[in-house]
Amino acid sequence: MIRFLASVGAATLAALASIGRLAMFVADTVSHLVRPPFYLREFGHALLQIGYFSLPVVGLTALFTGGALALQIYAGGARFSAEAVVPQIVAIGMVRELGPVLVGLMIAARVTSSIAAEIATMKVTEQLDALVTLSTNPMKYLTLPRVLAATLVMPILVAVGDIIGIMGGFVVATERLGFNAASYIQNTVNFLEPLDIISSLAKGAVFGFIAALMGCYFGMNSERGAMGVGRATKGSVVAAAVLILAANFILTEAFFSA
């Protein structure tokens, strides 16, 4: 019994220590926002990598999801003669939930893993130590530009994902399900409220922050060797995905609980 309690205690302490380390990492990252120097070139590079080069995967994910959503709502709605709600449900589903969450998860897969692997490799090959000896703070040079870029660019990616997702639903609804194009667009525009769009963009910013932060955190704390890099990469993606889903629930509760 004592052994069991000891193991529970040890696990609890380890979990609390991890939370503490992560909190300090977040505080350190944010504190660099107001402390020069700022590495604008790194920031621009991160904007391109995280934003521009993620557009194809975001677009394709949203397109197919929007199309599938339209088919499902049509089929499901037919059970109680509510096929006509396809435009409204596709719009609200994409903008409020699927757009931000799927874009967040795709960014976690594409960007978080890439950041974690890159920084972890830099750590095991002593490039982080080299940065320090060259009077360059790795948090300022590597973490801040990536986290800031992801936080700023993710709302744009989510907006693009929302629009393409709705377009996917539009194409399926008008080409396969016989909806009238003009009334589909009219219903979509009329149904969406400003809060839907604001919540979508806000979720994007939070998810972007989480995705980049997890990549940097796990990369910076990577263990040695190829296995260490692999573990850091895997851990970063899992942590980012879980935190994005948890944050999504909290934000949904905050925005839409009546």
AA identity, residue 69: L
Kindly state whether residue 136 participates in binding other proteins, applying the rule CB under 8 A: yes
- Number of residues forming the site for other proteins (CB under 8 A): 14
Given the complex with other proteins, which of 155 and 219 has the nearer CB atom? 219
| Minimum CB distance to other proteins, residue 123 (Å) | 10
Amino acid, single-letter form, for residue 131: L
CA distance 6 to 37: 46
Stretch 163-222 residues interacting with other proteins (CB under 8 A): none
CB of 127 to other proteins, least distance (A): 5
Residue 185 main-chain phi, psi, to 5 deg: -65, -40
Handedness of CA 127, 133, 139, 145 (dihedral sign): negative
Two tokens, residue 130: 């080299």
In the complex, the smallest distance separating the C-beta of residue 152 from other proteins, rounded to whole angstroms, is: 21
- By CB under 8 A, name the one of 1, 3, 135, 253 that touches other proteins: 135
Q: Quote the CA–CA distance of 33 and 125 in Å, as a whole number.
A: 27
Which one of residues 39, 64, 191, 255 is an interface residue with other proteins (CB under 8 A)? 39
Q: Which of 31, 126, 198, 246 binds other proteins (CB under 8 A)?
A: 126
Q: How far is the CB of 52 from other proteins (least distance, A)?
A: 17
223 binds other proteins (CB under 8 A): no
Which of 23, 44, 129, 186 is in the footprint of other proteins by CB under 8 A?
A: 129
- d(C-alpha 41, C-alpha 44), whole Å: 5
Q: Does 125 bind other proteins (CB under 8 A)?
A: yes
- Give 104's contacts (C-beta < 8 A, 6+ positions apart): 154, 158, 203, 204, 207, 208, 210, 211, 244, 248
Q: Does 37 sit near other proteins (CB under 8 A)?
A: yes
Q: Per CB under 8 A, does 15 bind other proteins?
A: no
Q: Which of 124, 151, 122 is nearest to 139 (CA)?
A: 122
By the criterion CB under 8 A, which residues form the site for other proteins?
A: 37, 39, 121-122, 125-127, 129-130, 132-136
